[in-house]
Structure 1
Amino acid sequence: MPFGLFSQLIVRLSDLVYEKFVWLTGVWLNDNNDCFALLENYIEREKGSQIIEITIWGSRENRINLLSRIRNELNYIEENLFKNLNIIEQIPCSCPECSLASEPYYHSRLDLENIIAKGKYYSQCKKSAEMVPIGILLNSIFDQEGIRNEVLKEYDKMNKIVIENHLSNFGNPQTNIDTRSESSSEATSKLKSKIVVSNKITMEIQNFLGETDMLKEDIERELRIKKIPEEEIEFAKSDVEVVEKTIQEIELAQKEKREPKPASKTRLGKFINDLGDENSTIHKTLKMLRKGKDYGIQLAEMYNKIAQNTGMPSVPPLVLEVIKKI
């Protein structure tokens, strides 16, 4: 989990900090007395995610402007300070069932934009099966021009900001907040957003472990069909299990904000090199599998993504060429 992300966000938004209402895990923002926002930060350790929850009071236009400022600052932090983040954007469903649910279905913002780009204007809620107008989903946090511009963007950027937006009527008569706006007839409402930031390394490690799980299943199934002795099957699987344990050690080091042990890096590097060693057990095993070459290439590519963010060397081109010939 990136250390200091929330504090960096507060620094970037320091011109909006309301009086002295700032603490280690939260801050109040005030945008010209027209819009107020509460940002609170916490960690979901089991998911390896950092949550920044935002509640905004003000007119729709002012909410959009303030939320855009927050998103822009997160973009800056992502691009300049924490380049290994995986930030995904989702929007909660507004169908009747999800509006009352504590855990609504979340539509991927990228999916919504792709649907619009194809000339469609409804997205199906996977919880209620209702067709929901995309305009309603996006319009709660983006202006129409912003939606149009976003649709025209290319979608090849790896790290994306994900904001889970909850829109409800501002119904607390005891709350005394100045919410002046240009349109006095526009109802003041509360926008609650949650920004979820996951470490990209964690995602790549989970992908790697998923691939090794499938590899072990194929080793057991296909080698039994070929009537390979049981002890040889277990020996082949043990190579994969060693690298699984190693990659889990690297993931733990990442979560604890420390460098992986040199031995872990060495074991992982040896496994990758063995993929390209024609005399190694794992290379010989892959040659016996129907999808052996695919497994070798996938694991090498996934390793490279992990290595990029952990200071480990990438797969040598010569090794990769040997893997491609399996």
Structure 2
Amino acid sequence: MEILKLTDSEKKKALSILLAVATDEGKKELHLIHKQTIEAIGKHIFKVNFDVHELSKEFSMVDNFSTEVIQKELLHLAAPMVFLEDEGKEQRGLALKELAKKWGFKDHLLNQIYKGAEGHKLALIRCELRPNAVEQGTSALAETFQYLIAKLHLNTGAKELHERYIGYGKLSEGTFGKTLYNYYVDNEFALPGTPGSALEDILIIHDIHHVLSGCDTSPLGEICVGAFDSGVSNQDFTAYITALTAQFQIGFTMSDPTINTWAKQFDPEMVYRSYRRGIDVKVNYLEKNFDFSLYIEKPISEVRKEFNISEEGMMVVPPNGKWCGIYGVPSKRKDPNIVKYGTLQSKF
């Protein structure tokens, strides 16, 4: 990320631009969640500490950033903030649009964000689908086909895959494979390859990302694993993080009937700490066809060390940490912050 190379003075101006988006150049009161987000970005992404009240609320800083790459990174860093509060999301969307206009910057993703802020669900659904090939290890089309096959009971399971995961359960505690096995047990998910399983087979790669990053399957955990992988990957995960923020912070209901919609689940400190942990990773395990089998029998702590994955800040800490998180098993979750229950309630 080019913004990591900014001077401290430039970082302060960049944070001022984020504040201008959050408040529409001071026209809106600064919500606590936006204040915390800007502080967390400063602390973890920029490695600086500025009092938000020291920052400007105007776009007068835009001329300090003339390179297209940095402009794009700042715009994309601001995008999730549009959906941190339901009240005023349209105004923040317009503020983001105005910032892009000042830079003469045109971006398809930002266009989807503006439309999403206006209430167009399809725009944010497209955002959520964008990084599937990286995050899930397969395209959205292939994912849909695989799911339908399972729903029609045409999937007889992959015996070899299923037996492999059963074997992981026999490995020593603390190994990558046994930790991955425990992840499925804690969440009461079927093991991959189980006849009739759908989501588990589709999300094998995504579930491995949870285990490596130490993120549980709570709504916050899903946002954090997306932020972590954004830091790891060479791909842009802005769309994915923005869609998850809308879905789990302001209850923006997507079209997928299997997925719960939540409110008030975004924790800036955890999200941007996860993002920074991902930035510091030295091995891009999100590359297509990355061979995880080489690491299955190794202690997961050694795998993380080899990849330079910091264990400080993980959501799941052994031996007592549970991969399902504070809300318990996904299929049994009941909470006042669930805006709409998914029909399956079994997997995010």
TM-score greater than 0.5 by the shorter chain: no
**Structure 1 or 2: more helix by fraction:** 2
- How high is the TM-score relative to the length of structure 1? 0.29
- How high is the TM-score relative to the length of structure 2? 0.27
Larger radius of gyration: 1
**Structure 1 or 2: more strand by fraction:** 1
